[in-house]
Amino acid sequence: MLYHIRMDVNLPADMDPEERADLLARERAYSQQAQRDGHWPHLWRVAGEFANVSVVDVADHDELHALLSGLPLFPYMDIEVTPLAVHPNKIDQ
């Protein structure tokens, strides 16, 4: 099932650089594992902002919450979830 997610990241500007680098590296690994598992089919950077627009594909709301709350950046993010249904005008491709 598909969910549209917008994530806005708010890292403190004075965060310790090493802590920051480590956090972003763990976020990267986590995100890429989820992509390889097929749970994160779309991931784009919002141009000009420390934010992304994503589409995730999970079995249900509980799996969605597990995926998102497990993000290393979760404590620093505002997250907005929108459930996506099939659009009647969508063609097969």
Report, in angstroms and rounded to the nearest whole number, the Rg of the chain calculated over CA atoms. Answer: 15
Per CB under 8 A, 79 contacts a second copy: yes
Q: Rule CB under 8 A: is residue 45 a binding residue for a second copy? A: yes
Q: Is 28 in the site for a second copy (CB under 8 A)?
A: yes
d(CA 31, CA 37): 10
30 contacts: CB under 8 Å, gap ≥ 6: 70, 71, 72
Question: What residue type is 7 in one-letter code?
Answer: M
The verdict on 43 binding a second copy (CB under 8 A) reads yes
Among 50, 57, 70, 72, binds a second copy (CB under 8 A): 50
User: Contact 72/30 with Cβ under 8 angstroms?
Assistant: yes
Q: Which token pair is 45?
A: 């950077």
**Residue 83 sits in the site that holds a second copy (CB under 8 A):** yes
Residues that bind a second copy in the complex, under the rule CB under 8 A: 1-5, 11-13, 27-28, 31-32, 35-36, 41-50, 52-53, 55, 60-62, 64-65, 68-69, 74-76, 79, 81-91, 93
